[in-house]
Amino acid sequence: MSIGVNVEHDFRNFRLAAEFNIPEPGITALFGPSGSGKTTLVNMIAGLVRPDRGHIQINDHVLFEHSRGINVPVRERRVGCVFQDNRLFPHKSVRDNLFYGARRNPRKLPQDEQQAIIALLDIADLMDRRPNLLSGGEKQRVALGRALLSNPDVLLLDEPLSALDHARKQEILPYLEWLRDHRKIPILYVTHAIDEVARLADHMVVIDQGKTLATGSVFEMLGRTDLAPLSGRFDAGTVLPARIVSRDPKAEVSFLECGEQRLVVPYLGRPKTDQVRLHVRARDVMIARTPPRDISANNIIPVTITKISDEPGDTIDVTMCFGQDADATLLAETSGRPKIHARITKWSGSRLKLQPHQKVFAVIKSVTVNGQLRDR
Amino acid sequence: MISLTPAEIEALLLSLRISGVAVACALPFAIIVATALALGRFPGRFILDAIVHLPLILPPVVMGYLLLIAMGTRAPLGAWLYETFDLRFVFSWTGAALASAIVSFPFQVRAIRLSLENVNHGLYQAAETLGAGPIDRFFSLTLPLALPGIIAGAITAFAASLGEFGAIITFVSNIPGETRTLPLAIYTAIQTPGGELAAARLAALSIGLAFTGLLLSELALRRIRKRAAS
């Protein structure tokens, strides 16, 4: 499963020149500010906009190749689209909307898979309703179901949550996580919300003003301070993959493992060995030179400073990798050992005399697990 | 209850038949033209738009005159239609229907076009990504979504052709039982000495017909809206 895009297009006052490859399934976030060309790129993959030059490919299926004059018609591209404005057919029932694509597709999903999708999206009870009687969240679930039931090769989600309020977003996110974890379909997820990226995406393509700035795994990309102006200073931080290893409902805590590091978070109502995502904001991380005792924070991680970078204003960004062994900084670069960021004041930095390769302790004040804030 | 005279019934039924046939025959063309104007991007779109709207601006008498020239049995088009399809328009009710259809055509096209232009273009894109081709999209989206406009257009056009006078009298004359519709019957009654009462009765009939038409169209639109909302 892979998506390869390399396109150029000149609009009247905007030039799009984007290139990225996504080699694996999972969710790839196409991230960038409004007006950066994200939707245009998705429309090009869907075939709704024709690029001036370039190449678009999904798996072995060439959808567009300017030099060879290939431009596969939209309806033969096998892309499932969910648009920001749901685009359900207003004159058709939910059932007819859901099966609109499936009825036109010679390569249908087996009946039991269709039923599984409908059951998991919780839309079986809405079948006979018209779209205008659905809530915003229900509409997007039906739109998601309609795209999935058409059995596409790739799912293109163009800001599917941006028209929803916070509560409705929380309602949809678990379905998207389920899609990511249980269906072998590459998903391109357009968004300008970094919290959605942190929670859902495996890969990330950052675009700005029509150009791809960076491509890579989410864990690596969200730690890059050079992209912070785009991802938003307020939320800058680290996303870490972790596993639930044990839990203690009585003490109301769950124990997680991130790399070789144990972490404690308030009780998560999830089974053991479940994968979760931690989002640690840089402003929620303190640095201590000696292991602090008698402190309320539960997670104090021995780390080694890999980099200190100046930030505009009165703060510095300190990058640290887990562990205090001699080759910790090297391992962080080569074996993908987890890194964590702290944003502290310049004054603190000079007071503690922080410098690269120094062994310190990262004190984590709060962790967000799968988009839900878990304090201390 | 005041009973209608045979001549009045004849004029009424003729009016209804001519208008009904005119609207029904023009409808498919109106849908095609409205779709082309609303969704199509092709050279000559402006000219097509102008031609469709011509009957709205042109005096009906001119329309009747043009039809007479084009459709007369000795005119090339009229002769060809007569010889090939045995279709004769001059001095026949079919001619009255043709004149009504052309004069009321813009009403149908405008209403259908308006409802088509209100459809979110994104719906067509969504259908396309789901595998629907152009003809498929026309029948699964365009037609059902334009239905309120189609019905509204048909009712307006029907009402407009009930009142058509100039084009009919110029093209197919005023023949009792063949082309004498309600407006022509009223005109005849006024021209006849002592025909004031007959004219008034026919006028009242026309007013009653107009009200019934309005009522029916309102009911039809309400049902459509209700259906769309359920």
Tell me the pLDDT tens digit for each residue of A141-159. 999 999 999 999 899 999 9
Q: Which of A102-116, B87-101, B213-227 has the lowest mean pLDDT?
A: B213-227
| Pair type for strands A14-22 and A3-11 | antiparallel
Residues of chain A with CATH 3.40.50.300: 3-221
Specify the higher pLDDT residue, A223 or A21. Answer: A21
Across the beta sheet with A186-191, the strand order is: A70-71, A61-65, A53-58, A3-11, A14-22, A211-217, A203-208, A26-31, A186-191, A154-158, A79-82
The CA distance from B122 to the nearest CA of chain A, in Å, is: 6
In chain B, how many domains are there? 1
Would you say residue A365 has pLDDT above 70? yes
What interhelical angle do B143-162 and B6-39 show, nearest 10?
A: 140
Q: Which domain holds residue B154?
A: 6-120+131-229
How far does B72 lie from chain A, in Å, by closest CA?
46
Is A104 close to B131, i.e. CB distance below 8 A? yes
Residue at B126 is within a domain: no
When comparing pLDDT for B185 and A338, which is higher?
B185
What pLDDT shows up at residue A375?
38
Structure tokens at A96: 């007819």
- State the pLDDT confidence band at A367, using cuts at 50, 70 and 90: confident
Average pLDDT over residues A278-306: 89
The pLDDT value recorded for residue A150 is 92
Question: Do residues A331 and A323 lie in contact, with contact meaning Cβ atoms separated by under 8 Å?
Answer: yes
Minimal CA separation from B27 to chain A, in Å: 22
CATH architecture of the domain covering A239-375:
Beta Barrel (2.40)
Rg (CA), chain B: 20
Of A117-126, A217-226, B11-20, the poorest mean pLDDT is in A217-226
A77-119 pLDDT, tens digit per residue, is 999 999 988 899 999 999 999 999 999 988 888 888 899 889 8
pLDDT (mean) for B162-183: 91
User: Which residues of chain A are within 8 Å of residue B133 when distances are taken between CB atoms?
Assistant: 75
CA distance B45 to chain A (A): 23
Q: Under a CB-based contact definition with an 8 Å cutoff, are residues A121 and A143 in contact?
A: no
ipTM exceeding 0.85, yes/no: no
Q: Above 70 in pLDDT, residue A234?
A: no
**What's residue A270's pLDDT?**
62
pLDDT, tens digit (0-9, with 9 covering 90-100), for B180-217? 999 999 999 999 998 889 999 999 999 998 888 888 87
Distance CA A138, CA A144 (A): 10
Q: Which CATH architecture best describes the domain A3-221?
A: 3-Layer(aba) Sandwich (3.40)
* B125 contacts in chain A (CB < 8 Å): 46, 48, 74, 81, 87
B134 or A25, greater pLDDT: B134
Burial of A3 (0-12, 13-18, 19+ CB in 10 A): buried
Q: Which chain B residue has its CA at the smallest distance from A85's CA? A: B122
A101: enclosing H helix or E strand:
helix A100-103
Alpha-carbon distance values, A304 to A115, A139, A318 (Å): 51, 48, 10
When pLDDT is averaged across residues A14-38 and rounded to a whole number, the result is: 88
The reply to whether residue B141 touches residue A89, judged by beta carbons under 8 angstroms, is yes
For the stretch A172-228, pLDDT in tens is 888 888 888 777 788 999 998 887 888 888 888 999 888 998 888 887 777 776 676
Query: What's the pLDDT at B113?
Result: 92
Would the pLDDT of B102 be above 70? Answer: yes
Q: What does the mean pLDDT of chain B come to? A: 88
pLDDT of A295 strictly over 60: yes
Across the beta sheet with A315-322, what order do the strands follow? A285-288, A359-364, A299-310, A315-322, A339-345
Smallest CA–CA separation between A237 and chain B, in Å?
37
CATH of the domain at B138: 1.10.3720.10
Residue from A43, A45, A48, A109 to probe the interface with B (highest B Cβ count within 10 Å): A48
- Record: contact B129-A74, CB cut-off 8 A: yes
Inspect the interface and report whether the beta carbons of A80 and B141 lie closer than 8 Å.
Answer: no
8 Å CB contact of A48 and B128: yes
- pLDDT(A129) > 80: yes
**pLDDT at residue B20 tops 80:** yes
Instruction: List where CATH 2.40.50.100 sits in chain A.
Output: 239-375
pLDDT number for residue A225:
64
Domain annotation covers residue B204: yes
Contacts A–B by Cβ distance under 8 A: 66
CB B101 within 8 A of CB B67: no
CB contact under 8 A, B129 and A100: no
- Asked if residue B1 is part of any domain, the answer here is no
pTM of the model: 0.76
Residues of A with CB under 8 A from a CB of B: 46-48, 74-77, 79-81, 83, 85, 87, 89-91, 100-101, 104-105, 130, 132-133, 146-147, 150
Amino acid letter at A263? L
What's the pLDDT score for residue A228?
Answer: 65
What is the model's pLDDT at position A229? 67
Among candidate residues A72, A219, A210, the one with its CA nearest the CA of residue A154: A72
Q: Taking an 8 Å Cβ-Cβ cutoff, which residues of chain B contact chain A?
A: 120, 122-123, 125-133, 136, 140-141, 144-145, 147, 228-230
How confident is the model over B69-97, as a mean pLDDT?
A: 84
Contact between chains at B229 and A132 (C-beta distance less than 8 A): yes
Query: Is the predicted pLDDT of residue B33 greater than 70, yes or no?
Result: yes
Residue contact B122–A48, C-beta within 8 A: no
Dist. CA B59–CA B113, nearest whole Å: 24
Distance CA(B40)–CA(B142), nearest Å, equals 13
Q: Min CA distance, A128 vs chain B (Å)?
A: 10
In this prediction, residue A376 has a pLDDT band, given cuts at 50, 70 and 90, of: very low
Cα distance from A45 to chain B (closest Cα, Å)? 11
In a domain, B182, yes or no: yes
Chain A residue with Cα closest to B225: A91
* CB-closest option in A81, A89, A130 to B129: A81
Interface test with A, best of B118, B123, B129, B151 (most A CBs within 10 A): B129
Pairwise CA distance, residues A345 & B118, whole Å: 56
Residue B227: pLDDT band (50, 70, 90) is low
> CB of A294 within 8 A of CB of A258?
no
Residue B152 lies in a domain: yes
